[in-house]
Amino acid sequence: MMLLDFRSDTVTRPSPAMRRAMAEAEVGDDVYREDPTVNRLEALAAEMLGFERAVYMPSGTMTNQVAVLVHTRRGQEVILTEGAHVYEYEPGAMASLAGVSPRFVSAPYGAPDPQEVRRAIHDSPHQAPTGLIALENTHNSAGGTVVPLKTQRAVQEVARAAGLPVHLDGARIFNAAVALGAGVHEVAAGFDTVSVCLSKGLGAPVGSLLLGPAGLEGEMRRYRKMLGGGMRQAGVLAAAGLIALTEGPKTLARDHARARELAAGLARLGLEVDLKSVQTNMVFARMEDAPGFAARLREAGVLINALGPGRVRFVTHRDLPAGAVDTALERVARVLG
Ligand SMILES: Cc1ncc(COP(=O)(O)O)c(C=O)c1O
């Protein structure tokens, strides 16, 4: 029986073209800025996303945490949307590395009310001062949902009026762009810094980029080195990243269509799926015993993640074989009896 892996879009393997590019990559010491392949990747990403600079890092966690470090001082608060990856799934890094606390605002389908963001800003001697506002697009824990450009603009205006920087966790910004029918530079516009992951739906084996202004580049590189992200001949990885950046976005619309098909099928089988939240490549279903269901489904040949006691997540991606959705639905039906 062929296992179908719907746990995450991070499970994709490098394509044959990526393997070839990796084997043939021109390299140098990237900490000395002498790796031509990393330099090309950073220049291309900066151009595509409309930023002055991009810095290549090993992971999305590192790009997010470097962003927090460059924008904040110890003791400050970071305003985040509820469930934000930056705090919930980055093992306490914000608190332990930057010494800052999260202040969550509610965010239905990942989109906060800009006025609630404004009210969450603190600037009094009795409270932790706000140092940064961050959005996430697409918003993972809200369902892989897309934050409307209008919401992003309104939050950026609130931040600007208060003199605060705004970061975007755009781990899946290309999924957001496809779902919005917008250019990726439009989704990235107006933020001080943006994180982009190459190793999710775009298919690279490793790597993320932090986009920002030239004035922050030195700090971004200093914190990357401090956190252990000075990777030397990283061109062997960046070579795959270049293919992910140029070719990867082309298959995302298919991933989204497959997620919609899967969601409709799961709903027909009686699972509690909020179809309105199925906007990109993720499908969440609520149930009583999520870990038990995930374990039974694994026995039947479908891998998924239980996120907490009452929710499972299916993610579609480029490495799922033809017919994967139909086969998965048959296996789910069998498990449900
Ligand atoms: C929204 C979001 N941000 C950041 C990350 C972190 O990426 P990495 O796993 O490369 O550290 C993830 C990973 O799943 C994510 O979903």
Structural domains of the chain ordered from first start: 4-11+251-336 (3.90.1150.10), 16-248 (3.40.640.10)
Cα–Cα distance measured from residue 184 to residue 180, given in angstroms and rounded to the nearest whole number: 10
Phi, then psi, of 256 in degrees rounded to 5? -70, -40
For ligand 1, say whether the CB of 259 is within 6 Å of any of its atoms.
no
Q: Which of 66, 316, 81, 32 is nearest to 208 (CA)?
A: 66
Identity (one letter) of the amino acid at 14? P
For ligand 1, say whether the CB of 171 is within 6 Å of any of its atoms.
yes
Protein residue with its CA nearest to atom 16 in ligand 1: 140
Distance 84 CA to ligand 1 centre (A): 10
Report the residue among 62, 63, 85, 206 best suited for mutation to probe ligand 1: largest number of ligand atoms under 8 A from its CB.
Answer: 85
For ligand 1, say whether the CB of 137 is within 6 Å of any of its atoms.
no
Cα–Cα distance measured from residue 163 to residue 161, given in angstroms and rounded to the nearest whole number: 6
Distance 268 CA to ligand 1 centre (A): 31
What does the pLDDT read at residue 208? 98
What is the model's pTM?
A: 0.98
Distance 337 CA to ligand 1 centre (A): 35
Within a 10 A sphere around the Cβ of 291, how many other Cβ atoms? Answer: 14
DSSP state of 6: -
- SS3 labels along 274-287: CHHHCCCCEEEEEC
Distance 89 CA to ligand 1 centre (A): 8
DSSP, collapsed to helix, strand or coil, labels residue 64 as helix
What does the pLDDT read at residue 123? 87
Burial 320-337 (b: 16+ CB within 10 A, else e): beeebbebbbebbeebee
Distance 60 CA to ligand 1 centre (A): 5
DSSP state of 12: P
Distance 215 CA to ligand 1 centre (A): 25
Please classify residue 215 by burial: count the beta carbons closer than 10 Å to its beta carbon, then call 0-12 exposed, 13-18 middle and 19+ buried: exposed
For ligand 1, say whether the CB of 60 is within 6 Å of any of its atoms.
yes
Q: Which of 46, 303, 308, 334 is nearest to 194 (CA)?
A: 46
Cα–Cα distance measured from residue 19 to residue 239, given in angstroms and rounded to the nearest whole number: 9
- Taking the CA of residue 136 as reference, the ligand 1 atom at the shortest distance is 1
Please classify residue 63 by burial: count the beta carbons closer than 10 Å to its beta carbon, then call 0-12 exposed, 13-18 middle and 19+ buried: buried
* Structure-token pair, residue 181: 């029918």
pLDDT digit of tens for each residue in the chain (337 aa)?
899 999 999 999 999 999 999 999 999 999 999 999 999 999 999 999 999 999 999 999 999 999 999 999 999 999 999 999 999 999 999 999 999 999 999 999 999 999 999 999 998 999 999 999 999 999 999 999 999 999 999 999 999 999 999 999 999 999 999 999 999 999 999 999 999 999 999 999 999 999 999 999 999 999 999 999 999 999 999 999 999 999 999 999 999 999 999 999 999 999 999 999 999 999 999 999 999 999 999 999 999 999 989 999 999 999 999 999 999 999 999 999 8
For ligand 1, say whether the CB of 221 is within 6 Å of any of its atoms.
no
Q: Are 134 and 86 in contact (CB under 8 A)?
A: yes
Protein residue with its CA nearest to atom 13 in ligand 1: 60
Interhelix angle 324-336/252-268, nearest 10 degrees: 20
Identify the H or E element spanning 305.
strand 305-306
Distance 137 CA to ligand 1 centre (A): 11
* Edge-to-edge strand ranges of the sheet holding 166-170: 53-57, 208-212, 193-197, 166-170, 130-136, 77-81, 101-105
For ligand 1, say whether the CB of 197 is within 6 Å of any of its atoms.
yes
